[in-house]
Amino acid sequence: MAQTQSNLFPSYGRFPITLVKGEGSRLWDDQGKEYIDLMCGLAVTNLGHAPEAVKEKLKLQLDELWHVSNLYHIPGQEKLASLLTANSCTDRVFFCNSGAEANEAAIKLARKYHQKVLGTGRYEIITFQQSFHGRTLATLTATGQDKVKEGFTPLPDGFVHVSFNDIEAVKHAVNDRTAAIMLEFLQAEGGVHAADPDFVSGIVELCKDHGILLIADEIQTGMGRTGKLFAYEHYGIEPDIITLAKGLGSGFPIGAMLGKEKLAEAFGPGSHGSTFGGTPLACSVGIATVETMVEQGIPARAQQMGELAVSLLQERLAGNPLVKDIRGKGLLIGIECVHAVADYIAEAQKRGVLPVSAGPNVIRLLPALTIPEADLKQGIDIVCGILTEAASQSTANRS
């Protein structure tokens, strides 16, 4: 790829690859090189690249109507909201454009519900160390990683961070200002760490006892990624608020905040808005994505393929001194290594496979939930081969 002067802000540390075409679980760069995609645009293209059902719905909508305004009724919003509430524990939906916007809406809703509906004046949100909730000022403050906050002070008040999977720390943090607890049931950006069932049960009990809302951040874990349509389903509980984006639009920008009926009063006319939230175009792809997920049993397939992937990784990497752990749910899998993984990822790219990291020491695998078994096996074989070769080289260097 030729390097040229760019007019873009240098906000991203980009790989030296220019991708120009995608189909299913395969991508091609501008040199014609083919790749097996094991990152899905960071858990976005859950149905693969350019899935037919979604593409056809979008084409039809392109010929009809692109944008009006949320000052008018938009039938696609009603249909997509009905699909989401019918397949979750929620009753109401607010549409936006991204995961950060969905989490912003959830934070605002939690505060307004307590302050204007219940009259408690509560405003604090408890979140967890190593969490990731977005890049806006409020959501980066909610995020439990200092690196995303550097240079953006002063940060908004009202966020408390505690240790993940430590219920005693949560109990200690709860006070008469606590409005909500925001939880990722599987911390993806934070290293692929799952919430312990007892930890989740303890949080649910705390919320019930103290009148606290539970916000489930399902931006990366929702839409079938973990083997259920939503990750909270693994725990047999019901959050008050759910936030979605990424896989909801199969690559088209759309976000959503789902909530219980009791919260509707807090978001009356004029309380919150989004110019491009829930456009006819966005809702058409959301409808096609959710319908495909549900009708074709995609989450169950993700569970099956995830079990296969973990089994293959455990078999191939057993005894590898560079590998500390293999963990995850469904097709959100982390390979924790003893060293930084940037070189392993770069080598995988050279060999035609695209994984991604989750922190400095974890290789994260996020293939399409529809990935053919042969592609999954080939991709895993290449990743494992790289780690096996690296372990052999490390042993040789010590000899």
9 falls within a domain: no
249 falls within a domain: yes
DSSP string, 277-292: TT-HHHHHHHHHHHHH
One domain, residues 212 and 72: yes
One domain, residues 161 and 264: yes
One domain, residues 202 and 233: yes
The residue assigned the tokens 């397949």 is: 87
Instruction: For residue range 37-67, list pLDDT tens digits in order.
Output: 999 999 999 999 999 999 999 999 999 999 9
One domain, residues 84 and 198: yes
Task: State residue 178 phi and psi, 5-degree precision.
Answer: -75, 115
Structural domain boundaries enclosing 303: 19-48+299-398
14 falls within a domain: no
Instruction: For residue range 149-168, list pLDDT tens digits in order.
Output: 999 999 999 999 999 999 99
Closest CA to 137 of 119, 154, 160, 112: 154
One domain, residues 365 and 322: yes
One domain, residues 29 and 114: no
pLDDT of residue 397: 80
57 falls within a domain: no
One domain, residues 322 and 237: no
Domain CATH number, residue 140:
3.40.640.10
What angle in degrees, to the nearest 10, is found between the helix axes of 373-398 and 298-317? 30
Give the count of beta carbons closer than 10 Å to the beta carbon of residue 134. Answer: 25
In terms of phi and psi (left: phi > 0; alpha: psi -120 to 50; beta: otherwise), the region of 276 is alpha
Instruction: For residue 256, list its beta bridge partners.
Output: 95, 244
Question: Which of the residues in the chain have pLDDT under 50?
Answer: 1
Burial class (CB in 10 A: 0-12, 13-18, 19+), 161: buried
One domain, residues 85 and 207: yes
pLDDT of residue 399: 63
Question: Encoding tokens for residue 388?
Answer: 């096996």
216: part of which helix (H) or strand (E)?
strand 213-217
Closest CA to 287 of 24, 43, 40, 77: 77
pLDDT of residue 398: 76
What angle in degrees, to the nearest 10, is found between the helix axes of 52-62 and 280-295? 150
7 falls within a domain: no
From 270, 295, 320, give the residue that closes a domain: 295
59 falls within a domain: no
290 falls within a domain: yes
Percent of the chain whose pLDDT exceeds 90: 97
From 243, 277, 295, give the residue that closes a domain: 295
From 255, 279, 295, give the residue that closes a domain: 295
Handedness of CA 238, 241, 243, 248 (dihedral sign): positive
74: part of which helix (H) or strand (E)?
none
One domain, residues 160 and 264: yes
Instruction: For residue 356, list its beta bridge partners.
Output: 364
Closest CA to 337 of 364, 315, 316: 364
Q: Report the SS3 class of residue 24.
A: strand
One domain, residues 40 and 163: no
Contact present, 286 and 82 (Cβ < 8 Å): no
pTM of the model: 0.97
Closest CA to 223 of 133, 158, 290: 290
Domain CATH number, residue 317:
3.90.1150.10
One domain, residues 111 and 187: yes
One domain, residues 176 and 285: yes
349 falls within a domain: yes
pLDDT of residue 199: 98
| Number of folded domains that form the chain | 2
